Chains A and B, each alone.
Chain A
Amino acid sequence: MSNDISNNLLKQISIAFNDKTPLRISAGNSKTFYGNHVNAQAINTLEHKGITEYQPSELVVTVRSGTLLSELESELKANKQMLAFEPPQHSEETTIGGIVACGLSGPRRAACGSVRDFVLGTTIINGRAEKCRFGGQVMKNVAGYDAARLMVGAQGTLGVLLDISLKILPVNESEISLKINTELSHAIKNLQQWTQQGLPVTASCFFKNTLYLRLGSTHSAVKQSLNTINNNFDTEEIDEAFWLSIKNQTHDFFTNANLWRCSHQMATRFYGDTDKQLLEWNGALRWINSEKDLYATADKHNGHAQRYPLTNSDETTDIFQPLQPGVLKIHKRLKQAFDPENILNPGRLYADL
């Protein structure tokens, strides 16, 4: 299904700009948990959908923001290609626009890069109701400021996403998933060693004394890597569906009531009760069940924390890691530069943006 409602969206934003009426941007509503509640009139991009350009040999796809993630991924899969940042699908209605706006990446992130690494260009409507195209559809592009990647994770506060060009990658010829019983510190040490050796680890997860691993490359490279690991460990092959439960956060661990998402360097020492943690990204992403606020602890370890899911109803408290004052000042000025009347998702990311 293909449908272009950009003129309609432009009209709605133009009216909101003139009337100074705030707008709450939505599409499939699968990320209402991710960010502060915005109490405003809705503008919905779900009907702005369709793949507008896709030539597999270009490794680039251009897609309207309301396109369902499932539709995009199945089209890529038919051509043996993928979104290498492995975005989470929180519901059937998850759209690619929501993924880009929230900047969410999945298990393959540590190996391949994050959503922003794959964004080549975006077309947006800014808060002055102007349609602007930044970046492009080519691999290298340094003309003008990189406002295309600036949209990733901005949660719509700088512009409503219309079209997105993404770099895509071929799927691996072979992938295998396995699990190993081991301790946390051993697991992390081995992951460090394997990545240093160039083993094709495309995902890792540690939970309850078990390391889950996915290897992906050519057939013979995967076979050789598996031999290397089998020389030191007893491994058991598992169904690749395990990674869906991590990617889409349907694994039981994500039902914990006091869940925190902490992002760190891979080799950061552990804190808190390791039995109450699930680790991804070779140790760089830690899901921690904690009744205590973890902002200060994460900051002390040169990382950052956020509540997850973000069900905070108190609209006066920021729920992402607080920003350094100078950095916050730049954020406010950029918000002013893109959305002078503060009509686009006001307060969704931080109270003053």
Chain B
Amino acid sequence: MNDKKSIINKLSKLLPDGQLLYRLEDLKPYECDALSAYQAVPLAVAIPDNIEQLKSILSLCYENNIPVVARGAGTGLSGGALPHKDGVLLSLAKFNKIITIDSKNHTAVVQPGVRNLAISEAVKELGLYYAPDPSSQIACSIGGNVAENAGGVHCLKYGLTVHNIIKLKVLTMDGDELTIGCDALDSPGYDLLALLTGSEGMLAIITEITVKLLPIPAVAKVMLASFDDIAVAGQAVSDVIAQGIIPAGLELMDNAAIKAADDFVHAGYPHDAAAILLCEIDGSVEEVNDQLRLAEKILKQSGATKIQIAKDEEQRAQFWAGRKAAFPAVGRLSPDYYCMDGTIPRHQISNVLKRISELSAEYKQTVVNVFHAGDGNLHPLILFDANNDGELERTEELGGKILDFCVEVGGTITGEHGVGIEKINQMCGQFNSDEITQFHSIKIAFDEKQLLNPGKNIPTLQRCAEFGAMHVHHGNLPHPELERF
């Protein structure tokens, strides 16, 4: 390992004053992303503002074997941008320009530091918008969205980030500047665009993104359906989709979430309901009217006790305000909460909610449920107090058990927040050793020295063996072929 001083000295020659941080007090704000349970102070924070600076930083790190962790707005929920203590944290915040907007082809070329919502705001007057809308969209950067394959409430109808970008420019660690994807609707060769999307900064540094823009739907209407049993609400989700309706958003909140959100923003939610569904339909006037009528009928048949259709745009915004404020609202209930992100087949919603409730009782910890029901993407929020000894560890254990159950019923440990550092142990339960080895070889194909975001996303087999030894499932040791430590 090179002497810290000498590296900082070399870096300082590449960047003007103020774009390289290395004093502890300057580094502290960067010690974590939105998953504050994990913290590390990096060797330095580099904040380049042009591609030449970026290239020279990567080249210096490559030559000196210094790890590089890319960071957008730091809103990630899985510790993907957690710094490496011996590495450079590469902030792309200054790459914040919208380069071009193409109104004829419905695309925009943007730099990675542009905020998600800023894209939609910039193209609004053209009648266009960028569809993926993670709840942090006011702050999160598009580069981070690509790195995490971010979702949001409209994924069921409009897809994830991977469905809404068409081209990337990236820099590899060994200095190649690559154009991935194409302006056309397909591109020759392997689908590297899909591979890079959601790769959590492990394969390359994104320098430019071409996003797809969609026409703003003529109408969007939302209905609020109340249920006196959360299992019935879970089943109603499947019933709506089975009848051929693809809602623009279909969200479920349990009683604790309803009360917390309503107390916080006065969304007009029924406090006595066991669960509510928010069902949004968008499209042309005729299409929305047809489907809204049908959805209302299905929800009634499925056992909704009350259905309210937002009477105007103001009430629609009010219904959504409760959902969008649900996380901070739950934050008022407890000193800390832990947000999980498992995704399951929709028909398993009731079953998994029941299991979560059992685990909640067993661990004597409250779990609040608010999630993207249409996608089967759960966000159980486990309440805890990090100041109490061992409570974070117990919470992580409880969260781990919820994720194990998601995998058991045919789901996945993460739908949209990413693996990062947070769910790295659960990767061992979802993938076998051949699959994990294959993932490592993909990493090496892009980053032979393994300098980009080391230690994240894909666990080592040794880590899985150690983790597996702690969590023997039904008496079956995962990776029995490996030595135990």
Q: What is A's interface to B at a CB cutoff of 8 Å? A: 55-60, 80, 103, 105, 109-110, 113-114, 116-117, 126, 130-134, 136-147, 149-150, 152-154, 158, 169-171, 173, 192, 195-200, 217-221, 223-225, 263-267, 281, 284-285, 302-304, 306, 320-321, 323-324, 326-331, 333-334, 336-338, 349-350
Q: Are B176 and A329 in contact (CB under 8 A)?
A: yes
| A residues near B356, Cβ cutoff 8 Å | none
**How many angstroms between the C-alpha atoms of A103 and B443 in the bound complex?**
24
Q: What is B's interface to A at a CB cutoff of 8 Å? A: 102, 104-107, 127, 148-149, 151, 155-156, 159-160, 162-163, 172, 176-180, 182-192, 194-195, 197-199, 202-203, 215, 217-218, 238-239, 241-242, 244-246, 283-287, 289-291, 343-347, 372, 375-377, 410-419, 423, 427, 430-432, 434-435, 438-439, 441-446, 457-458
| B residues near A198, Cβ cutoff 8 Å | 215, 217-218, 283-284
**How many angstroms between the C-alpha atoms of A299 and B194 in the bound complex?**
22
Least CB distance, B43 to chain A, in whole angstroms: 27
| B residues near A149, Cβ cutoff 8 Å | 162, 191, 194-195
Q: Are A321 and B188 in contact (CB under 8 A)?
A: yes
| B residues near A264, Cβ cutoff 8 Å | 183-184
**How many angstroms between the C-alpha atoms of A149 and B411 in the bound complex?**
18
Q: Which of B105, B149, B191 has the most CB of A within 10 A?
A: B191
Q: Are A326 and B188 in contact (CB under 8 A)?
A: no
Residue of A221, A303, A328 touching B182 (CB-CB under 8 A): A303
Closest-by-CB residue of A relative to B186 is A263
Least CB distance, A69 to chain B, in whole angstroms: 19
Least CB distance, B255 to chain A, in whole angstroms: 25
Q: Are A109 and B185 in contact (CB under 8 A)?
A: yes
Q: Are A284 and B190 in contact (CB under 8 A)?
A: no
Q: Are A327 and B345 in contact (CB under 8 A)?
A: no
Residue of B195, B284, B289 touching A150 (CB-CB under 8 A): B195
| A residues near B186, Cβ cutoff 8 Å | 103, 105, 114, 153, 263
Q: Are A144 and B419 in contact (CB under 8 A)?
A: yes
Can you give 18 contacting A-B residue pairs, CB < 8 Å?
A58-B347, A59-B241, A109-B185, A130-B438, A140-B155, A141-B412, A143-B412, A144-B458, A145-B198, A145-B442, A145-B458, A154-B191, A198-B215, A200-B287, A284-B185, A327-B192, A337-B445, A350-B189
Q: Are B194 and A140 in contact (CB under 8 A)?
A: no
Q: Are B410 and A333 in contact (CB under 8 A)?
A: no
| B residues near A331, Cβ cutoff 8 Å | 189-190
Q: Which of B178, B199, B435, B438 has the most CB of A within 10 A?
A: B438
Least CB distance, A247 to chain B, in whole angstroms: 16
**How many angstroms between the C-alpha atoms of A263 and B184 in the bound complex?**
6
Q: With A265-B184, A326-B172 in contact, do A144 and B190 touch (Cβ < 8 Å)? A: no
Q: Are B104 and A138 in contact (CB under 8 A)?
A: no
Q: With A149-B194, A217-B284, A220-B286 in contact, do A333 and B445 touch (Cβ < 8 Å)? A: yes
Closest-by-CB residue of B relative to A199 is B284
**How many angstroms between the C-alpha atoms of A172 and B92 in the bound complex?**
43
Q: Are A267 and B284 in contact (CB under 8 A)?
A: no
Closest-by-CB residue of B relative to A328 is B189
| A residues near B372, Cβ cutoff 8 Å | 140
Q: Are B159 and A218 in contact (CB under 8 A)?
A: no
Closest-by-CB residue of B relative to A57 is B242
**How many angstroms between the C-alpha atoms of A56 and B239 in the bound complex?**
10
Least CB distance, B425 to chain A, in whole angstroms: 12
Least CB distance, B238 to chain A, in whole angstroms: 4
Q: Are A154 and B190 in contact (CB under 8 A)?
A: yes
Q: With A143-B419, A147-B442 in contact, do A284 and B191 touch (Cβ < 8 Å)? A: no
**How many angstroms between the C-alpha atoms of A58 and B237 in the bound complex?**
10
Least CB distance, A269 to chain B, in whole angstroms: 11
Q: Are B244 and A173 in contact (CB under 8 A)?
A: yes
| A residues near B376, Cβ cutoff 8 Å | 138-140
Residue of B148, B283, B285, B411 touching A138 (CB-CB under 8 A): B411
**How many angstroms between the C-alpha atoms of A138 and B347 in the bound complex?**
11
Q: Are B241 and A330 in contact (CB under 8 A)?
A: no
Closest-by-CB residue of A relative to B187 is A304
**How many angstroms between the C-alpha atoms of A32 and B73 in the bound complex?**
48
Closest-by-CB residue of A relative to B219 is A198
Q: Are A132 and B195 in contact (CB under 8 A)?
A: no
A-B pairs, top 3 by smallest CB distance, nearest first, are A140-B415, A170-B244, A149-B194
Q: Which of B177, B286, B432, B458 has the most CB of A within 10 A?
A: B286
**How many angstroms between the C-alpha atoms of A168 and B372 in the bound complex?**
19
Q: Are A143 and B435 in contact (CB under 8 A)?
A: no
Least CB distance, A216 to chain B, in whole angstroms: 11
Closest-by-CB residue of B relative to A137 is B410
| A residues near B184, Cβ cutoff 8 Å | 263-265, 284, 302-304
